[in-house]
């Protein structure tokens, strides 16, 4: 009975050690993980066809301005909306 229990214990320990060793052998290095992340980001950037619309506010001591910017496939289009907090009048 003791020999069977001892054999089971040794087998269990060996199985545990082998599974830990196998897990370490399969785990990617930090460099591989970083390279994979960079490749995924570059691939996503190449296939991204989204365009944004946003407001661009700039402040200097002399002037504050707000523009509406719309991205297009051919470049950005912008329109001045406000100067010093005041909307533009129709011309």
3 state DSSP class of 35: helix
Q: Does residue 90 lie within any of the structural domains? A: no
Co-location of 1 and 36 in the same domain: yes
Co-location of 32 and 62 in the same domain: no
pLDDT digits (tens, 9 = 90+) for 19-29: 766 666 688 88
Going by pLDDT thresholds of 50, 70 and 90, the confidence category of residue 43 is very high
Q: Does residue 9 lie within any of the structural domains? A: yes
- Total domains, the chain: 2
* pLDDT surpassing 60 at residue 4: no
| CA dist., res. 65 & res. 13, Å (int) | 71
């Amino acid at each position: 009975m003791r020999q069977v229990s001892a054999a089971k214990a040794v087998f269990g320990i060996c199985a545990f050690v082998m599974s830990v060793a196998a897990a370490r052998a399969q785990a990617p290095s930090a460099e591989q993980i970083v390279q994979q992340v960079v490749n995924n980001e570059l691939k996503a950037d190449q296939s991204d066809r989204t365009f944004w619309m946003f407001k661009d506010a700039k402040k200097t001591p002399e002037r504050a301005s707000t523009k509406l910017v719309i991205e297009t496939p051919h470049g950005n289009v912008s329109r001045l909306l406000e100067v010093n907090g005041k909307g533009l009048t129709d011309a």
